[in-house]
Amino acid sequence: MEFSSILFPGMDDKRPLVIAGPCSAETEEQVMTTARQLAAIGIKIFRAGIWKPRTKPGGFEGVGSPGLKWLQRVKKETGMYTTTEVATEKHVYEALKYGVDILWIGARTTANPFAVQEIANTLIGVDIPVLIKNPVNPDVELWVGAIERLYNAGITRLAAIHRGFSSADKNVYRNTPQWHIPIELKRRFPDLPIFCDPSHMGGKRSMIQSLSQQAMDLNYSGLIIESHCSPDEAWSDKDQQVTPEELDRILHSLVIRDTIQTTEDLSTLRRQIDEIDNQLLDLLSKRMRVSREIGHYKFEHDMPVLQTMRYDEILRDRAEQAERMDMSGDFIRKVLESIHEESVRQQLVIMENAKKEDQSNQL
């Protein structure tokens, strides 16, 4: 596939190309205040959610079509391009009617080929940039399929948004990066621009700078960052939004290298260490979840928490494995002793809580 070399007319190719604005368009005053502040720091593309897909009913699902008039006003008064998420044929028609410049497809929609095809069919004959977020689950084929559906409809001004992937286990991210997946996407489509969404990836404003830097180190084309004039008062996702002033500080702190780093570059190696550490934390979280399940089983079957023979066997076996993998057996024993200590603690908590529940039920 050959993608258009001009994603946004009139924009230079200086990295990072930044798209910023609030998670949701809430009020006309909030939209205009945020837009003016972002324009003042040089942002050229304003984002705001008009329709908000929520996991459960009852939450704020966006102001809907009336908010599109506010985006028109943003464009008229600041000169910024505007962009919003579309998930249905109706959303596309409404966005085009009000002159939205750029559309993006959200993670939930990317995961639904029927929805993507509906949007693609609606855009046949329309020349507009479309950004495609990765699907919720770590499935590169779904991401590729969504891109191909839009391309087959005649949309060549395409870009991908990497916003991380959902996980059932607790970890430091809201959505784990799994950087190898967008790297694979880039391998398949070398000319496809990729944006990073550190807001949804980290879920906390404190993580935006480091995730943005990692994206720049991987030669991403741009960033899409949630920015709100009063983030603590935001109607949705307030923890991951920053003020335009803070966004300006983050952007000025980024180191943008002119050359793509090699795998031997120190900062790239450090980034790999960070990613591996986060994977270790994910695995430890899964291990502790299993330990808690074992705690429930032991309580139900009146078994003791500590089983010495099993523990000694694990230590001996894992130490031998470690030495075969060029690691110190003593080092692994120390690591496993700490893991075992935490596992025992969690099982004791489970059993104590179960006892209290039993006693309460007997009263």
Hey, where are the domains in the chain? Answer: 17-253, 266-362
For the chain, what percentages of helix, strand and coil (3-state, to nearest 5) are there? 55, 10, 35
pLDDT value of residue 268: 62
* pLDDT of 105 over the 60 cut: yes
Half-sphere exposure of 276 (CA within 13 A, CB side): 6
DSSP result, 247-306:
HHHHHHH----SSPPPTT-HHHHHHHHHHHHHHHHHHHHHHHHHHHHHHHHHHHTT--S-
Lowest mean pLDDT among 46-50, 282-286, 296-300: 296-300
CATH of the domain spanning 266-362: 1.20.59.10
**Quick check: 262 pLDDT over 50?**
no
Is residue 120 predicted with pLDDT exceeding 50? yes
CATH superfamily of 17-253: Aldolase class I (3.20.20.70)
Q: pLDDT digit string (tens) for 58-84?
A: 778 889 999 999 999 999 999 999 999
Distance of CA 274 to the CA centre of its chain: 16
> Mind listing the pLDDT tens digit for each residue in 302-335?
777 666 677 778 888 888 888 888 888 888 888 8
Q: What's the predicted TM-score (pTM) here?
A: 0.74
Average pLDDT over residues 238-244: 97
Most confident of 132-141, 172-181, 302-311: 132-141
Q: What is the pLDDT of residue 323?
A: 84
Task: Tell me the three state secondary structure of residue 359.
Answer: helix
pLDDT tens readout for residues 265-281: 566 667 778 878 888 88
3-class secondary structure, 46: strand
Cα dihedral 113, 83, 98, 70 sign: positive
Side-chain-side CA neighbours of 188 within 13 Å: the count stands at 13
